[in-house]
């Protein structure tokens, strides 16, 4: 069965690469440009994995992560935070709020693919 993946990022330039990569990996890829849209799409499509940026308009990635983890119906959604916020305190916060993986930009595309695969147990 095809797995669904949501990219939540307001930077189109990063979306281009990640979308390309994930499609090549065989995902059905959804894109959200801000926090609210991301949350709505997660609720609607229940993606298997979300690549979540922290700095986004309307709702931050931290807020989205918290909301998803607070909703038992979304328990199966894996969250990989992919963000420019790289301070130790921020990493700790992301993981504490329920992110499964916290990756900081810039990242290696291979490593990203690897992590996504690991998360989905492939």
Partner 1 sequence: MTPSRKLGLAAGAVCLLIVAALAATAWLSWLSARGAGLAFNDLVTTLLILGLVCCGLAVTALRELAARYVRAPLRLAEEVATVVADGARRVKTDGGSELDALARAINELATAREALQRDVAEQVRQAQRSLEAEKNRLAALMAELHQSVVVCNLDGRILLYNQRARAEVGDELLGLGRSIYAIFDHGLIAYALESVSQRLGREEAPAAEFVASTRPGLLLRVHLAPVLGGEAEGDATEPAIAGFVLILDDITANFAEESQRDAVIQGFTEGVRGPLGSLRAAAETLSDYADMGDEERHRFLDVIRDEAQQLSQRLEQAAGHYGDALQARWPLEVVRGADLVTAGLKRITGQTGVPCKAEELDDTVWIKVDSFSLLQALSYLTGRLNDEYGVREVRLALSRTGHHAQLDLIWSGTAMNTETAMAWELDAMRGAGVSAPSVREVVERCNGEMWFERQRAAHRALFRMLLPLVEPNRERGGERRFLRGGSRPEFYDFDLFRWSEGGHALDDRLLSELSYTVFDTETTGLQPAAGDEIIQIGATRIVNRRLLHHEGFEQLIDPQRSLPEESIQVHGITPDMLAGQPRIDTVLPAFRAYCADTVLVAHNAAFDMRFLQLKEEATGVRFDQPVLDTLLLSAVLYPNQESHRLEAIAERLGVTIIGRHTAMGDAIVTGEVFLKMIPLLADKGIRTLREAREASEKTYYARIHY
Q: Is 84 in the site for partner 1 (CB under 8 A)?
A: yes
Q: Which is nearer to partner 1, 40 or 84 (CB)?
A: 84
Q: How far is the CB of 24 from partner 1 (least distance, A)?
A: 7
**30: Cβ–Cβ under 8 A, 6 or more apart, which residues?**
4, 5, 6, 7, 41, 45, 47
46: left (phi over 0), alpha (psi -120 to 50) or beta: left
Per-residue x/- track, 22-51, partner 1 (CB under 8 A): --x---------------------------
Q: Which is nearer to partner 1, 82 or 97 (CB)?
A: 82
**Cis, bond preceding 106 (omega within 30 deg of 0):** yes
Q: How far is the CB of 27 from partner 1 (least distance, A)?
A: 15
Q: Are 5 and 116 in contact (CB under 8 A)?
A: yes
Q: Is 86 in the site for partner 1 (CB under 8 A)?
A: yes
Q: Are 90 and 54 in contact (CB under 8 A)?
A: yes
Size of the site for partner 1 (CB under 8 A): 24
Interface positions with partner 1 (CB under 8 A): 11, 13-14, 16-18, 20-21, 24, 55, 82-87, 104-110, 112
């Amino acid at each position: 069965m095809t797995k669904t993946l949501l990219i939540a990022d307001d930077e189109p330039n990063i979306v281009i690469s990640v979308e390309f990569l994930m499609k090549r990996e065989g995902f059905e890829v959804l894109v959200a440009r801000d926090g609210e849209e991301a949350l709505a799409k997660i609720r609607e499509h229940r993606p298997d994995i979300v690549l979540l940026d922290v700095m986004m308009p309307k709702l931050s990635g931290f807020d989205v992560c918290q909301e998803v983890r607070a909703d038992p119906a979304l328990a199966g959604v894996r969250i990989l935070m992919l963000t420019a916020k790289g301070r130790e305190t921020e990493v700790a916060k992301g993981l504490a709020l329920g992110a499964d993986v916290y990756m900081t930009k810039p990242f290696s595309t291979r490593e990203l693919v690897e992590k996504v695969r690991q998360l989905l147990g492939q």
